[in-house]
Structure 1
Amino acid sequence: MGRIKVAELPVFDAVDYLKTDQACAEYLTAALEDGDPALVTAALGDVARARGMSQLARDAGLTREGLYKALSDQGNPSFGTVLKVLRALGLQLHVAPAASA
């Protein structure tokens, strides 16, 4: 039997697509709509990486290490930290009635 050649696909990184405020807002909104806190933290981490962690940490009044830890896979940022990061990103959290089932 011959070998099957497997094509190597590029690794997907959402950061590559988070170039505008609108893209970041839509990405975070989709994560919030999912309702999984870990997904929201991961999405916020992606947006933070897209914007630059060092400057974002300074703007949010956090250490860079603290921001990395809070937004890591094992992170569990406080709501206050989430709000600081959103504010530093120039984004706002909005609440709307849930869609009826």
Structure 2
Amino acid sequence: MNPIQPNRSQPNNPLHGVTLKAMLEYLVAEYGWERLGDRINIHCFNCEPSISSSLRFLRKTDWARAKVERLYLDSRSFDERKGQVTSADVPIEGASVWDRARRDVSEDH
């Protein structure tokens, strides 16, 4: 039996198991701070940006976190449609439950 399986408590939630930090790190790697600040115009992305200051703000501000989550989902969906991101590209430690499960399934075949 496979030791890493998706959590069955939220099977339809694509963000389940993905931390805010992992989302933010992915977006910064994908867009850089300047383009991220252009896409989501918030102070913590535009003035002396850092992961820690952005996390503090996003954890307190629901509307901003929702925008980050939406951009993350849209970006991942686009990358997967274009074949730019595969489950093998995502490190196990920061991978979501879904990424780890996809990797395990693809390795079995």
**Structure possessing the higher relative contact order (Cα contacts under 8 Å, 6 or more residues apart):** 2
TM over 0.5: no
The structure that has the greater radius of gyration is 1
TM-score bracket, normalised by the shorter chain, equals 0.3 to 0.5
